[in-house]
Amino acid sequence: MSEEIQFHQQSGLGVISLNRPDVLNALSLEMCLELDQKLSEWESDDSIQAVIIRGEGGKAFCAGGDVRTIVEQGFENNQMADEFFATEYKMNARIHHFKKPYIALLDGIVMGGGVGVSIHGSHRIVTEKTLFAMPESAIGLIPDVGGSYFLPRLPGSLGKYLGLTGARLKGSDVLYAGIGTAYMSSEKLEEFVATLMQEDISSDEDVDQIIARFAEDPGEAPIDEFRDLIDAAFSETTMEDILDHLSDIDHDWARETGAVLNKMSPISLKVIVEQLNRGAKLEFDDCMIMEYRIVAAISSYDSDFYEGVRAVLIDKDHNPNWVPPTLSEVSHAMVMAHFDVPKSGDLEL
């Protein structure tokens, strides 16, 4: 068993600790494999009443998947990309279908792959340290790990806004958006976990009752100030229409949001719009199959994904050379090619 992810059982609680604090608990292939296998065991183990997952190190729950390692393999015959994404998505699906309470402590940074190991469970505890984002458009990828399922199901147009811009949300906003299910102070988490271990938690309702003892009001959500603007602009169904709508709004928020979008990978933005429009109408497993098609395509050629990871995570010059460089040069055919069945076949769940 890897030291990167640790499992132990206390009373009726199965505890998962993500233990790569030096890289903000980013998920490796081995971590995804071990988590999937352990959840399979615990689901059929009557001695396990519920599962809790947390990040070690004090800074992050989980900052994402280890995409840097994938990119360093190059795009030619990148079998590691296929294996990593297939393994991660199967694990995400297992969490979505997990029949027991699954409690994620989102105490710190929660991005990308960290969202995938938390949001599909029954309970997501938010604190004042929570920092949530799906920042994939900045590296030429898509908001995956089930993003095509949960983002379109957030209130109004919040999901499309978050998936396209990579906007960062803090605790009160995370709860407001429905990404978190409860808020409590970080200092209360240890007592909360101890209480879970002491009491019967054989159902979601049992967990809810314990959470209610510790839950607090995080106060107003700053994002609510811009909610009407978000819903109006991001209800559009094409990337061009979203940007046109933003340009028609005489507000600093709209100008700043437009500027953010204009820095993102143009082809990723168009693929994401198509992904989320489709995901709104699909069941969870079908969303994961679609996402695997997209990432298999992205990793199979010299795509913006390789350039984006280079610019943001490897060289850190934050000056990617996107190809094509503008939205107008991204054709419908280019977008649709990302939704074809991979040569290796569809993801099997």
Which is catalytic among the residues 12, 108, 112, 113?
A: 113
Examine the residue annotation and report whether 144 is marked as an active-site residue of this protein: yes
Examine the residue annotation and report whether 65 is marked as an active-site residue of this protein: yes
Does CATH number 3.90.550.10 belong to domain 5-339? no
For CA atoms 13, 16, 21, 23, the dihedral sign is: negative
Examine the residue annotation and report whether 199 is marked as an active-site residue of this protein: no
Would you place residue 79 in the very low, low, confident or very high pLDDT band (cuts 50, 70, 90)?
confident
Which is catalytic among the residues 66, 82, 107, 144?
A: 144
- Secondary structure of residue 18 in the 3-state scheme: strand
Q: What is the pLDDT of residue 51?
A: 97
Do 153 and 209 contact (CB within 8 A), yes or no?
no
- Residue found under tokens 């693929």: 271
Alpha helices for the chain (secondary structure H)? 29-43, 67-71, 79-97, 113-116, 147-150, 158-165, 171-176, 189-198, 204-214, 227-233, 239-248, 252-261, 266-279, 284-298, 304-309, 332-336
- Secondary structure of residue 158 in the 3-state scheme: helix
Beta strand 109-111 with 131-133 is: parallel
- Measured between alpha carbons, how far is 62 from 21 in angstroms, rounded to an integer? 9
Q: What is the per-residue pLDDT across 108-130, written as a single tens digit (0 to 9) for each?
A: 999 999 999 999 999 999 999 99
Which is catalytic among the residues 14, 65, 279, 308?
A: 65
User: What is the pTM for the complete model shown?
Assistant: 0.96
Q: What is the per-residue pLDDT across 294-311, written as a single tens digit (0 to 9) for each?
A: 999 999 999 999 999 999
Residue 135 has pLDDT above 80, yes or no: yes
Q: What is the per-residue pLDDT across 240-296, written as a single tens digit (0 to 9) for each?
A: 999 999 999 999 999 999 999 999 999 999 999 999 999 999 999 999 999 999 999
Which is catalytic among the residues 66, 88, 136, 304?
A: 136
Examine the residue annotation and report whether 113 is marked as an active-site residue of this protein: yes
